[in-house]
């Protein structure tokens, strides 16, 4: 039991002789001021990356980092300090600095430990060790030659492989003593194809909380290579995109970045506590078309956005955000949940020990509906079929969001015709969600490449959706 906790104590506390009792003592010291809660977040990370260009593996990088972050909360106030040395004096110093937000006052009682940290969603093995350096280099070279063999128009191939092994332990005044051991791998293939003086790029990749072994199965690497080349070749034929409002069909999988931007961020607890989101105070209201059910699910085995426990030690769960168009709930960390009088949802995440946790998404997707994807495409006279995207951005206050297509086609008389150049799509979250008129039966999750940025902090996430018809969205092409 508590396998992760034992690994974490070995990795983070034992090297400098720290014990559970020391953590208790530091939390006690924090509690000598009028604070509501406090936590200590220990983390160590080992990362590597290998990259190929010009058909040779020319760069390799190894990074190691560890530290501890100390947070003290009093009302809406948070004090925060951290140290990259996990030793008792540094920890105590950080605690003294963090608690300075509150006056000296009544000594609070630190709760008895409730230990947590049973791995259930991914292995606690180090993924960096799952392949020899030589095999990593060979894998990159093999994908390079595969890509070049597919089509002579492929002129440049870039392949990168990265992995990280992270161990975290969190101890809090509420008795939380939880740990997680988090593997992550990622492989990416990008190509540039050239024909008649025109150059276009394509890329594909994937990964998750798995070992490098993942890439050796189910033809995954073949798929990445073929997809990257196919996208670049399609884009070589792309014509200028139309401009203006029109029906847009979004393909399954990664286009779920729509949900991440159009509703996901707006449903994060901090924005709703502050009433700065267009979705604030709207629980129970119809915020999306009937038939739309959106969830955030941190419990999917091996997924990039999944966590056994979040960075506050709360077990992740499947949270229904929107059910059949009705807003059901927000995503919360402990702090915002407490201030809003609700339960934390396992969405408290932080980039590292040197950052404060916030409510963040995990794997966010829309459940499947009943329509055949072909039927959805056939329903459009003139519009756009967008199957791949770069990324997106949202202004959660006005609800305006954008996302940028990297592979899209015209739909003419119910048929997919010419590829069009990448165009940005823009809309207003709550309005666009009401314009989803058909939901496909083909739910897919992305391949494991998402990174979400918020207030300068990046965390890995997943997105997904079935094929969707949006009756009108503004397409930012040049053909007026």
Using alpha carbons only, give the angle 262, 266, 268 rounded to the nearest 5 degrees: 135
List the interface residues with another protein, window 8-47 (CB under 8 A).
none
List the interface residues with another protein, window 225-244 (CB under 8 A).
241, 243-244
Count the Cβ atoms, other than its own, within 10 Å of residue 265: 25
Residue 234, C-beta contacts closer than 8 angstroms, at least 6 positions apart: 202, 407, 419
Strands 457-465, 363-366: pairing kind: parallel
Residue 135 or 412 having the CB closest to another protein: 135
Q: Binding residue for another protein (CB under 8 A) from 38, 300, 416, 475?
A: 475
Residue 3 or 478 having the CB closest to another protein: 478
Using alpha carbons only, give the angle 432, 278, 398 rounded to the nearest 5 degrees: 75
Distances (CA, A) of 142 to 157, 184, 217, 340: 11, 22, 15, 53
Helix (H, G, I), strand (E, B) or coil at 358: strand
List the interface residues with another protein, window 124-153 (CB under 8 A).
133-134, 136-137
And the tokens for 154? 């492929």
And the tokens for 7? 């690994």
Q: Shortest Cβ distance from residue 405 to another protein (Å)?
A: 8
Q: Does 162 bind another protein (CB under 8 A)?
A: no
User: Given 3-state DSSP classes, what are the helix, strand and coil percentages for the chain, each rounded to the nearest 5?
Assistant: 25, 40, 35
Residue 197 or 219 having the CB closest to another protein: 197
Q: Binding residue for another protein (CB under 8 A) from 423, 438, 447, 470?
A: 423
Q: Does 119 bind another protein (CB under 8 A)?
A: no
Distances (CA, A) of 427 to 246, 452, 471: 12, 20, 12
Q: Shortest Cβ distance from residue 100 to another protein (Å)?
A: 4
List the interface residues with another protein, window 237-276 (CB under 8 A).
241, 243-245, 274-276
List the interface residues with another protein, window 359-388 (CB under 8 A).
none
Q: Shortest Cβ distance from residue 151 to another protein (Å)?
A: 16
Count, residues near another protein per rule CB under 8 A? 84
Residue 111 or 201 having the CB closest to another protein: 201
Q: Does 450 bind another protein (CB under 8 A)?
A: no
Tally the C-alpha atoms within 13 A of residue 475's C-alpha that lie toward its C-beta.
32
Q: Does 281 bind another protein (CB under 8 A)?
A: no
Q: Does 161 bind another protein (CB under 8 A)?
A: no
Q: Shortest Cβ distance from residue 250 to another protein (Å)?
A: 16
Q: Shortest Cβ distance from residue 45 to another protein (Å)?
A: 10
List the interface residues with another protein, window 301-330 (CB under 8 A).
none
- Where does this chain touch another protein (CB under 8 A) — which range of 54-62, 163-171, 314-322, 441-449? 54-62
And the tokens for 177? 């003593």
Strands (E), 196-317: 198-208, 243-250, 294-297
List the interface residues with another protein, window 60-79 (CB under 8 A).
60-67, 75-79
Q: Binding residue for another protein (CB under 8 A) from 278, 327, 331, 463?
A: 278
CA distance from start to end of the chain = 63
Residue 216, C-beta contacts closer than 8 angstroms, at least 6 positions apart: none
User: x/- string (CB under 8 A) for another protein, residues 194-213?
Assistant: x---xxxx------------
Q: Does 120 bind another protein (CB under 8 A)?
A: no
Residue 60 or 301 having the CB closest to another protein: 60
Q: Binding residue for another protein (CB under 8 A) from 6, 20, 53, 151?
A: 53
For residues 350 and 319, give the distance between their C-alpha atoms in angstroms, rounded to a whole number.
Answer: 19
Residue 274, C-beta contacts closer than 8 angstroms, at least 6 positions apart: none
State the Rg of the chain over Cα.
24
Q: Shortest Cβ distance from residue 304 to another protein (Å)?
A: 19
């Amino acid at each position: 039991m508590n396998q992760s906790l034992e690994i974490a104590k070995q990795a983070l506390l034992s090297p400098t002789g720290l014990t559970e009792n020391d953590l208790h003592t530091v939390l006690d010291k924090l509690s000598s001021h009028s604070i509501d809660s406090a936590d200590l977040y220990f983390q160590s990370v080992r990362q590597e990356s290998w990259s190929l260009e010009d058909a040779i593996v020319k760069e390799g990088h190894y990074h190691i980092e560890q530290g501890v972050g100390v947070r003290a909360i009093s009302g809406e106030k948070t004090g925060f300090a951290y140290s990259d040395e996990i030793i008792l004096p540094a920890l105590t110093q950080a605690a003294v600095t963090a608690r300075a937000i509150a006056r000296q006052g009544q000594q609070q009682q630190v709760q008895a430990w409730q230990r947590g940290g049973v791995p259930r969603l991914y292995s606690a093995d180090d993924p960096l060790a799952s392949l020899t350096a030589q095999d990593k280099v060979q894998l990159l070279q093999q994908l390079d030659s595969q890509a070049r063999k597919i089509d002579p128009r492929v002129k440049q191939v870039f392949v990168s492989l990265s992995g990280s092994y992270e161990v975290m332990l969190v101890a809090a005044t509420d008795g939380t003593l939880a740990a997680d051991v988090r593997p992550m791998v990622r492989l990416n293939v990008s190509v540039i194809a050239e024909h008649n003086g025109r150059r276009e790029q394509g890329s594909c990749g994937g990964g998750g909380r798995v070992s490098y072994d993942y890439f050796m199965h189910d033809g995954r690497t073949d798929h990445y290579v073929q997809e990257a080349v196919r996208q670049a070749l399609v884009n070589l034929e792309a014509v200028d995109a139309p401009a203006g409002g029109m029906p847009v069909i979004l393909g399954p999988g990664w286009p779920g970045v729509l949900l991440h931007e159009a509703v996901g961020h707006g449903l994060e607890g901090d924005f709703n506590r502050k009433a700065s989101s267009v979705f604030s105070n709207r629980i129970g209201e119809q915020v999306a078309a009937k038939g739309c059910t959106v969830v955030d699910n941190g419990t999917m085995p091996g997924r990039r956005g999944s966590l056994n426990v979040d960075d506050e030690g709360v077990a992740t769960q499947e949270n229904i955000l929107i059910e059949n168009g009705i807003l059901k709930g927000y995503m919360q960390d402990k702090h915002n949940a407490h201030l809003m009088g609700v339960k934390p949802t396992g969405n408290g995440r932080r980039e590292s020990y040197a950052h404060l946790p916030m409510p963040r998404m995990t794997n966010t997707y829309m459940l499947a509906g009943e329509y055949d994807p072909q039927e959805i495409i056939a329903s459009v006279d003139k519009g756009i079929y967008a199957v791949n995207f770069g990324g997106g951005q949202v202004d959660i206050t006005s609800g305006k969001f954008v996302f940028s297509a990297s592979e899209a086609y015209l739909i003419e008389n119910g048929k997919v015709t010419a590829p069009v150049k990448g165009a940005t799509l823009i809309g207003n979250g709550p309005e666009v969600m009401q314009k989803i008129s058909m939901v496909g039966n083909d739910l897919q999750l992305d391949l494991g490449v998402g990174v979400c940025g918020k207030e300068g902090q990046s965390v890995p996430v997943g997105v997904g959706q079935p094929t969707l018809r949006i009756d009108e969205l503004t397409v930012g092409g040049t053909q007026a």
